[in-house]
Amino acid sequence: MKISIIGSGYVGLVTGACLAELGNQVICMDKNITKISQLANGEIPFYEPQLQDLVKNNIASKNLHFTNQFKDACKNRVIFVCVDTPDNEGKPDLKNFNSCIRSILKYGKTNTLIVTKSTIPLGTNSKVETKLARHNLKHKANFKLASNPEFLKEGSAVQDFFKPDRIIIGTNDNSSENILRKIYAPLSRNKNKIIKMSLSSAELTKYAANAFLATKISFINEISQLSEKTNSNIHDIRKGIGSDPRIGSNFIYAGIGFGGSCFPKDLKALKYSKQKFNLQEGIIEKTISNNEIQLNKFYKKIINSDVTSAKNHRIAIWGLTFKPETDDLRESVSLKLINKLASKVHSLHLYDPMADYKEVANLLKASKNIFYYDDKYKAAKACHSIVLATEWKEFWELNASLIKGMTIFDGRNIYDHSYYMKYKINVVGIGL
């Protein structure tokens, strides 16, 4: 099938490259000319495992093309809208999304199926549907709309695309449903992954999924606070509750909280929608505030400890991205912690295996006592203690002799305290 993707960021590019790999003829569009020329040369402007090879191979097989022109992207009869909808003071900014819909109506063929993949506030698809109906009547056209929300995780997006848990098709129209069923048939062959629902249900399913996952994290973080007060062990509690299939063992790892471009933004968007519908505050709002409380508790644990209260205390920070296997710094809890700590200690010594230090320095420019390293032990050598903020694989197994006598504040609970105690390394975790 001939498919267009508008918006070539994390979601758009992964979707486009994977659909091309399935044999479709895909054209990815982005208004950013630099990005498009990089992509056309097979260079990916961000880090996502497996994506580089996928893009290169599909450019070579001529299944994947790039453009910065709406006109080119609007030649195909199926267009996935994957533009960003960034948070703007608590509500998603629809500037890019709306301008994309306007351009499709201007340049698109009159019988185009528009598929929304961007995460858009509740009620947006219904507004677009009304707009299309008006346009169709006026111009004797037949533009159609479907919602196909995204559930990919950064760091495993390609794998998630080819092995989805579910594929949501939100539409009120049979022919649109059939087109999407055809596109996704190769991913739904062994087991039916497709769940068909209305446009509005698809829209809310996306938000509800992210809000539920974030709630699980905030919940276990709250339990970790009780676990500390009662001398319990959060690992045991996690295993104890996670073994119940009704609870499940994923997303109940206590830590310094969730970040990224999705959970914080989507929770705020749901909060905003609830306010619009005059609904009372509840779990959504508490999930947001619990995430801040959790980070603050860890920050206090660091600055109130005997080690850090010493004069001229230097701390190494391991991990800057919002999670491992990505270079994404958006809403990174590590950066939030650094901002809090910077004025309280002598200096901070940062290391991350993938983050772009220029971008980090730009985000942290208010603090002058921050230094960057190309190796975790070099960063630690200059310091008295270490904060593990993002659990990249290379942090899991340490050469204890190189950090002997230090304290590790383990924000992701990955270290075995008794093992490191043998090397006089004191580990301070969460809920332990």
Active-site residue list: 262
Closest distance to ligand UGA from the beta carbon of 318 (Å): 14
161 vs 432: CA distance, rounded Å:
36
Name which of 67 and 116 has its Cβ closer to ligand UGA.
116
Name which of 14 and 132 has its Cβ closer to ligand UGA.
14
Residue 412 CA to its chain's centroid (Å) = 17
27 vs 229: CA distance, rounded Å:
56
Closest distance to ligand UGA from the beta carbon of 207 (Å): 9
Spatial CB neighbours of 426, under 8 Å, sequence gap ≥ 6: 307, 406, 407, 408, 420
CB 321 within 8 A of CB 351: no
- Measured in degrees and rounded to the nearest 5, phi and psi for residue 411 equal -75, -5
Q: Which stretch binds ligand UGA (CB under 6 A): 170-178, 249-257, 267-275, 413-421?
A: 249-257
Among 184, 219, 253, 373, binds ligand UGA (CB under 6 A): 253
179 vs 382: CA distance, rounded Å:
59
Among 21, 48, 129, 150, binds ligand UGA (CB under 6 A): 150
DSSP-derived secondary structure letter, 425? P
Spatial CB neighbours of 265, under 8 Å, sequence gap ≥ 6: 86, 87, 92, 119, 331
Q: Does 255 bind ligand UGA (CB under 6 A)?
A: yes
Q: Are strands 370-372 and 113-116 parallel, antiparallel or unpaired?
A: unpaired
412 vs 319: CA distance, rounded Å:
11
Residue 117 CA to its chain's centroid (Å) = 15
Name which of 54 and 82 has its Cβ closer to ligand UGA.
82
Closest distance to ligand UGA from the beta carbon of 19 (Å): 17
Closest distance to ligand UGA from the beta carbon of 311 (Å): 33
Closest distance to ligand UGA from the beta carbon of 323 (Å): 4
Q: Does 423 bind ligand UGA (CB under 6 A)?
A: no
Q: With the C-alpha atoms ordered 133, 137, 138, 142, is the resulting torsion angle positive or negative?
A: positive
Q: Does 351 bind ligand UGA (CB under 6 A)?
A: no
Q: Which stretch binds ligand UGA (CB under 6 A): 36-44, 126-134, 258-266, 403-411?
A: 258-266
CB 111 within 8 A of CB 141: yes
Joined tokens for residue 297: 């508790």
- How many residues bind ligand UGA (CB under 6 A)? The answer is 19
Among 31, 56, 109, 153, binds ligand UGA (CB under 6 A): 153
Closest distance to ligand UGA from the beta carbon of 70 (Å): 24
Looking only at residues 199 through 218 of this chain, which bind ligand UGA when binding is defined by CB under 6 A? 210, 213, 217
Name which of 153 and 346 has its Cβ closer to ligand UGA.
153
Residues that bind ligand UGA in the complex, under the rule CB under 6 A: 150-154, 210, 213, 217, 251-253, 255, 258-260, 262-263, 322-323
